[in-house]
Amino acid sequence: MSPNLETTYLGLHLRNPVVASSSPLTGRLDTLRRLEDAGVGAVVLPSLFEEQIEREERLLDELSRVGQEISPEVTGYFDPYTGVELGADDYLRHLSAAKDLLSVPVIASLNGYRPGGWTRYARLMEMAGADALELNVYYLATDPAESAVEVERRTLDTVLEVTSSVRVPVAVKLGPWFSSLPHLTQNLARVGARGVVLFNRFYQPDVDLDELNVSPSLTLSTSAEARLALRWIALLRGRVALDLAGAGGVHAVEDVVKLLLVGADVVTLASALLERGPEHVTELVNGLDFWLAEHDYDSVAQLRGALAQTSAPDPGAFERANYLETLSGYAFGYRVGD
């Protein structure tokens, strides 16, 4: 009998733990269908950005004021709550169409970093049919006067605004640079989050030596990056009342298995799909099935968390205890002349 690949994430039933994360591939209906046909467990749509919503609403407000100057009656044609008639409207239409097209769960995505009126779009996403929401907290703290406590508080306030406005489950996608991730994730559960996605990838700028300016740069992930999520999922499993999604660096079957072993409920991927196409999902799902069978696991549930820190034979391997040993082992392997 084949292993049972089914899992649950954010209270949703998934046929397997391989999730297509937010990317251009999930922004098109044709590639969404290919992802489903390839066997994906769920999809996360591209993000609707806080800045995008606020920019569109400022434009709508300006149009409203111009119309009022022409004739007060014109104002009636501009509803301040219909900013969706601009770019956000396209997003909601895509979400609704994706729900009609697919049988797997469809997770909508909001990208922001502070409380504000833009968070009401979470409710519109729910109304458009989203099975769950992913709140992508993308923020780079650059103000020396802003403390870590203030950064965390703003994050929690933003999450609370979203979770209190919807009934569907909300996952929070975090960057890796919070000062105390276990403390933050515990508080995320208290303000209503159902899961966390570890981790968001910050796109780093580069310096153009010919033009002598700073230019945007996008580099796809590699499998080595998955180790950051691997460590923190192992540390958090069993310690926080949240579902855990591994993100960043998931390319091969081995990456999927490792993240599940340390406690991930699902794994999410984008770079590998952009490089190899939606059909790469089939390779991962079939590979997971084969690995489980070869190692006598009956299900993903049996595998999950077997090497979380609370279960691992050497819990210190996930902390500082392994630091010196790792460096020493590398030094002893060094050969003069290399």
In the chain, the N- to C-terminal Cα span, in Å, equals 50
> How many angstroms separate the CA atoms of 229 and 233, rounded?
6
> How many angstroms separate the CA atoms of 46 and 35, rounded?
14
Nearest to 161 by CA among 200, 118, 197: 118
* pLDDT surpasses 80 at 35: yes
* pLDDT surpasses 70 at 332: no
- Polymer length in residues for the chain: 338
Mean pLDDT over residues 283-305, rounded? 98
Q: How confident is the model at residue 129 (pLDDT cuts 50, 70, 90)?
A: very high
Mean pLDDT over residues 111-137, rounded? 90
The count of C-alpha atoms lying within 13 angstroms of the C-alpha of 188, restricted to the half-sphere facing its C-beta, is: 30
Pairing verdict, β 7-9 and 12-14: antiparallel
Q: How confident is the model at residue 63 (pLDDT cuts 50, 70, 90)?
A: very low
- Per the CB < 8 A criterion, the answer to whether 59 and 86 are in contact is yes
> How many angstroms separate the CA atoms of 198 and 138, rounded?
12
As given in the structure block, the two tokens for residue 312 are: 């691992």
71 vs 214: which has the higher pLDDT = 214
Q: How confident is the model at residue 333 (pLDDT cuts 50, 70, 90)?
A: low
Mean pLDDT over residues 40-57, rounded? 84
As a dihedral over the C-alpha atoms of residue 88, residue 152, residue 308, residue 256, rounded to 10 degrees, the angle is 20
pTM of the model: 0.86
Q: If you average pLDDT over every residue of the chain, what do you get?
A: 87
- Per the CB < 8 A criterion, the answer to whether 269 and 18 are in contact is yes
DSSP class of residue 4 equals B
- Per the CB < 8 A criterion, the answer to whether 268 and 20 are in contact is yes
- What is the longest distance spanned by two Cα atoms in the chain? 83
The count of C-alpha atoms lying within 13 angstroms of the C-alpha of 280, restricted to the half-sphere facing its C-beta, is: 19
As a dihedral over the C-alpha atoms of residue 215, residue 218, residue 223, residue 224, rounded to 10 degrees, the angle is 10
Mean pLDDT over residues 122-136, rounded? 96
> How many angstroms separate the CA atoms of 249 and 219, rounded?
12
The owner of tokens 């770079």 is 271
> How many angstroms separate the CA atoms of 134 and 234, rounded?
21
> How many angstroms separate the CA atoms of 272 and 218, rounded?
14
* pLDDT surpasses 70 at 102: yes
Domains, the chain, with CATH or none: 7-311 (3.20.20.70)
Mean pLDDT over residues 158-167, rounded? 96
* pLDDT surpasses 90 at 164: yes
- Per the CB < 8 A criterion, the answer to whether 33 and 102 are in contact is yes
